[in-house]
Structure 1
Amino acid sequence: MVLTFGEILLRLSPKLGGTWIREASFPVFVGGAELNVATALANWQIPVAYCSAMPDNALSREIETYLGEKNIRTGKLIWSGDRIGIYMLPQGADLKNAGVIYDRAHSSFSALKKGDIAWDALFEGVRYFHLSAISPALNGEVAALCTEAARQATLRGITVTFDLNYRSKLWKYGKAPAEIVPEIVQYCDVIMGNIWAAHTLLGTDIDPEVAENRAGKEDYLQQARLTSGQIMEKFPKVKAVANTFRFDAGREGINYYATWLSGGDFVVSKEFDTDRVVDKVGSGDCFMAGLLYGLYRNLDARSTVNFAASAAFGKLREYGDASGQTVTDVLTRIEQ
């Protein structure tokens, strides 16, 4: 079984220009990076459980039922605290866009600390444990909990995967990411992210032209190989690193590809292009789910990174936080 761990969130997604006021409409999506991963895996028939914290009230219980209907196991949820975190993002915008507004202070998940989780119960039946850099960005207590969770999973022989997703607006408690994230990554087996996030969160080197997005594809690929190698050298437990590349193409289009370094083999995914994006939220989470799918199904390196890249690209054409693609959808896109 795969277990994902992170904060459950409600995304409020208004149409700007005053439309949400005139129409009295404010769409709400149940999400969060780690839940998005779990949702995709469940849809691909991978046994998956999700651990987060919610207050024990009627709204939370409805969310629990909803997750169960998605075939996500909810027995590891923690019932504590007073509220669910919220973030507001206009429809069609990117999470890295300055328009995102977070309302996550004092949420049930952000109040968790070391000692709140019974590790034996949490990790019972788990083969893969996934968490991300969004959680330790909340506060020092949650950061320490994430480190301990990764360590406890390692002690039990569980494969630990980590997403280097960086949200600058969340790191507000006096610690730089590079002071915190390496403490977690030392216990990880698989790292997913991009060359820019790795530079910020782990202190890897980056070419100035690449850093400013003024390079060509071969330069980005060379940087990905360098970054992946540096991560594996710095953190000996890490056995595989994936890097994603998503560039604007035209007014509304996207160019997407990814790399995967494992066992000394550096593999580049198929390249995908579209002239229209429906929703950018959750694309990286879908990529991570694709990696876990490949690992769980024992796919080879090329098949794994192609599946992950295709799934992530497909999510760009879906509305909402999580993907509803089938395995056939993802494989068909690769073959086209």
Structure 2
Amino acid sequence: RVCDFAAVQLGLRGLQDAQGGGNIVTTEYEHYANVSPWLELKSRGFVDEVRFARFNPETYELDVDHLASLVDSRTRIVSVTGASNLLGSITPLEEVGKIARERGSIFVVDGVHLMPHYPVDAQAIGCDFLVFSAYKLFCRFGSFMYGRREALEALEPYKVEPAPERVPWRWEHGNRDPALFAAIAAVADYYEWLGGRVGVEPKGFSGSGRRLKIKAAQTAIREYETRLSRRMVEGLSGLGDKLRVYGPQNVDVRVPTFSFTVKGTENKAVVERLWRDHNIFVREENFYSRAVKSLGVPGVIRASFAHYNTPQEAERLLGALRYLV
């Protein structure tokens, strides 16, 4: 993920004037794209410490109080995921942002796993930077970064000498990719089309026209996927102790990403049987998530839903798992 490079850019430029190193705060359920760059900065001496906020091992939600205790006057950057790509847990970004601002820290959001599932509003979140990968948003590969204007102006990114000094152009690394911009524009067109058909009015949103339709689409997606999540949570919890599920039971604080293991059966064998016997494709690995360390497992089986999945498909998966366990 190109998010790695963006994080290093932010870290190097944000820490260049720091005295005494300081620290960076992130969480224990991050994708390593939001971990390894910060550890790299520590290894190079730009920062003294990388601190990890824990998540509750029973609810799988971020322990915000623990995160708050880690952020102090020497915290240069607070960088968190919007949603765990392994647990499905949604990070309370506005709460975390408030903590970061109170300490004067740069607030960075890895939005990769949240963007396709949630009505994300960077300005409402109050983040300085938000990075996401287009492929998670029904698009081709490529990455984008939102930056608050004041933050973009305060930091000096590495650039070739002839590049403009003005923001946002000084943050561009060469010519833009027309194909990527055409692709992400098509995603926006799709959201606009969907938002004009769902009959949803986003609460507390003052925008109009195209922005209103995109917001309506994101809101409708969130509502629909929450219903899918509720059925999955109910169904998985009824399959007995042989199935171990890793992720929140509370559907209001999760996206429809479900990770699990089957006691007595290797993850690879479960994946193969679901495909061979039921024509259902899921994956098994660690998904580059730091959460596996806290869970004490080498990897999990992950079933990932999006708004194009149906309740019938959820029932098919639950039925197949019922047969397996």
By the TM > 0.5 criterion, same fold? no
**TM-score when scaled to structure 2?**
0.32
Choose 1 or 2 for highest CA Rg: 2
Structure number with higher strand proportion: 1
Structure number with higher helix proportion: 2
**TM-score when scaled to structure 1?**
0.31
